[in-house]
A and B are shown apart, each in its own frame.
Chain A
């Protein structure tokens, strides 16, 4: 398969600071590629270089078989127009939602009828139909990010770059964005490169990836391989867990039962049927030393396997048939006096189960 984009020995310096050092990678057309790394590892810089909005200090970027780095500004513009980018923080033009989404088409001088049709479709895709005449400044952070995504989709780029698009979003908006991106990749075959340190996201969405550490690629390959035996570095910043493949059946009440094997079923609010992947954010799981009497649809019993303390957050691995990862604040952790081997009860709501 043809590489849509190749980065060859990229270096980027800002003054005396090295942001990227000899980074090379290649992404196949149609692939969903993850750039994994903690904050400050150079992910955003790498995406800006790949997106051709900032030149590398040295090295080459080959876009669809052509060296984009050595081209004139005008030729670079035509490459850039095949790439869509969603940044971590949405910044929108101070005008209506419609004008924001229409912008990329207007500067490409597309006919008005086409612009109207595509803007409508894009807003529908991100679940913001009817928002056309709203002012961009009236939107919530999540809505603004969805408009950003619509801006990047409206011109159907060949390559979509996502720079931690859900890092600052609430779970509901994050899930909407994940679903849209996943749909694009599966249904339209759009190539996507996503920078993230959210491992659930990586495991759901990406098939290949590279791990970045201090501006260097330290590992690369299939996501399933990378996570099968994660390196010490990967596990040091990655929250890996709570991801289960299964079969979904939707009941008459609209509640889905997802069989994840070994006679264990998860209840979730989704209308997706068939083969799905579920994940539960570690912060959405309630942990208790007593059996939980709660309205939560999913209740489990297990034992603490491992406790990882990191600043104000404590991560606890619990073995309840499957391994679960739960996060809690240091204060609750201290009040609960948990230790390896403690008997605990877990609960999470059907609405906290994310299904892709």
Chain B
């Protein structure tokens, strides 16, 4: 059978048959990327806002550095995290390698610069007069940061959309630090790699379709949020 048709049929069958392994893979992918984005956002959003709002020596260098890090190759991140977590590495005693936690750490390192640099650019594009206005109405330091983030909310959501897209579609890092262990650290992307290598193109394509559908649904949801934020 044509591998594409085969893939579509397999994908449909997998979804309706509630295959526990496939659902486990989907769930793990969502949890790993979701936690990485959540933690990355909690740290990256305030960090990006502070860079945008404060003036300090080395600000431009820091921004350039962050921008460069947004393009970090996932395999390089995977390798570095692997070296840190391996039994001979500095964080070896934590015994996190080949566990979902290691995958979260690797994705977090990828996601943080994206969130921080997109947030910084969104916050710096808020009208300076608005900062003066918030100040004149009595806003203190953290209130000012929060107010400017609220004004830049569509940009901040863009940061989240972009970083989630990068995390869920990434394969190199989770493969290296997670090890693609069945029932434990296998994600949608690593499973696709495996099935392709085994020549199971139908299965690989089916997982690919599920991954695309997931990405699409999450983007639709976030974009709707973004537009409702714009109108408010």
Known A87-B129, A91-B130; judge A107-B138 contact (CB<8 A). yes
In A134-155, which residues have CB < 8 Å from any B CB?
Answer: 135, 151-152, 155
B138 and A91: CB pair below 8 A?
Answer: no
A81 at the interface (CB under 8 A from B): yes
Task: Report the bound CA distance from A307 to B168 in whole Å.
Answer: 76
A77 to B130 alpha-carbon distance, docked (Å): 17
**Binding-face segment, B8-16, B73-81, B140-148, B195-203:** B140-148
**The residue from A85, A89, A93 contacting B136, defined by CB atoms under 8 A apart:** A85
Give CA–CA (A107, B142) in the complex, Å. Answer: 10
Check if A53 sits within 8 Å of B137, measured CB to CB: no
**Cβ-neighbour of A94 out of B136, B137, B138, B232 (below 8 A):** B232
Give A194-238 as 1s and 0s: 1 = Cβ < 8 Å from B's Cβ atoms: 000000000000000000000000000000000000000000000
Residues of B contacting A152 with CB < 8 Å?
137
User: Is A131 part of the contact surface with B, judged by Cβ < 8 Å?
Assistant: no
Partner of A89, one of B129, B135, B151: B129
Residue A3 lies at the interface, judged by CB distance under 8 Å to chain B: no
The residue on B at minimum CB distance from A99 is B232
CB distance from B145 to the nearest CB of A (A): 12
Q: Is A331 an interface residue (CB 8 A)?
A: no
Q: Is A244 an interface residue (CB 8 A)?
A: no
Interface of B is mostly: helix
Does B139 lie at the interface of the complex (its beta carbon under 8 Å from any beta carbon of A)?
A: yes
**Does B54 reach chain A (CB closer than 8 Å)?**
no
The answer to whether A73 touches B130, judged by C-beta atoms less than 8 angstroms apart, is no
* A108 on interface, CB distance cutoff 8 Å: yes
Chain B's interface size range is 10 to 19
CA distance A334 to B39 in the complex (A): 72
Which residues 238-277 of A have a CB within 8 angstroms of B?
Answer: none
Contact between A107 and B139 (Cβ–Cβ < 8 Å)? Answer: yes
B137 nearest CB neighbor, chain A only: A104
Are A53 and B139 in touch, CB under 8 angstroms? no
Residue in contact with B140 in the complex, picked from A91, A93, A107, CB distance below 8 Å: A107
Kindly state whether residue A80 has any CB partner on chain B within 8 Å.
yes
Docked pose: A48 CA to B141 CA in angstroms: 18
Residue picked from B133, B137, B139, B140, most chain A C-beta under 10 Å? B137
Could you tell me the distance in whole angstroms from the C-beta of A247 to the nearest C-beta in chain B?
40
For B129, the chain A residues whose CB sits under 8 A away are 87, 89, 91
Q: Across the interface, do A80 and B138 meet the contact criterion of CB distance under 8 Å?
A: yes
Is A91 a contact partner of B127 (Cβ separation < 8 A)? yes
When distances are taken between beta carbons in the complex, the residues of chain B under 8 Å from A107 are 137-140, 143
CB distance from A113 to the nearest CB of B (A): 20
Cβ proximity bits B144-157 to A, threshold 8 Å, 1 near / 0 not: 00010011000000
Q: Is there an interface contact between A87 and B133, defined as CB atoms closer than 8 Å?
A: yes
| Cβ–Cβ contact A104 & B138, under 8 A | yes
A95 contacts the other chain (CB 8 A): yes
Contacts of B151 in A (CB 8 A): 93-94
User: Would you call B132 an interface residue if the criterion is a C-beta within 8 Å of the partner chain's C-beta atoms?
Assistant: yes
Residues of chain A with a CB closer than 8 A to B150's CB: 93, 95
Does A279 touch B at the CB level, under 8 Å? Answer: no
B229: min CB distance to chain A, Å: 9
Inter-chain contact A81/B138, CB cutoff 8 Å = yes
CB distance from A18 to the nearest CB of B (A): 21
**In whole angstroms, what is the CA distance A53 to B130 when docked?**
13
A103 & B137 in contact (Cβ 8 Å cutoff): yes
Cα-based distance from A84 to B133 in the complex (angstroms): 10
User: A93 contacts B139, CB within 8 Å?
Assistant: no
Complex-state Cα separation, A94 to B134, whole angstroms: 12
**Min distance, Cβ B134 to any Cβ of chain A, angstroms:** 8
With contacts A91-B127, A95-B232 known, is A53 near B136, CB below 8 A?
A: yes
Closest chain A CB from B147 CB (angstroms): 7
Determine whether the beta carbon of A53 is less than 8 Å from that of B135: yes
Residues of B within 8 A of A104 (CB): 137-138
Whole-angstrom CA separation of A107 from B138 in the bound complex: 7
Q: For residues 147 through 176 of chain A, which have their beta carbon under 8 Å from a beta carbon of chain B?
A: 151-152, 155
CA distance A155 to B137 in the complex (A): 9
Given contacts A53-B135, A87-B129, A95-B232, 8 further A-B contacts (CB under 8 A): A51-B136, A74-B140, A80-B136, A85-B137, A93-B147, A95-B150, A96-B232, A103-B134
9 A-B pairs within 8 Å (CB atoms) are namely A53-B132, A80-B136, A80-B138, A91-B133, A96-B232, A103-B137, A104-B138, A107-B140, A155-B138
**Chain A residues within 8 Å of B, Cβ to Cβ:** 48, 51, 53, 73-74, 77, 80-81, 83-85, 87, 89, 91-96, 103-104, 107-108, 135, 151-152, 155
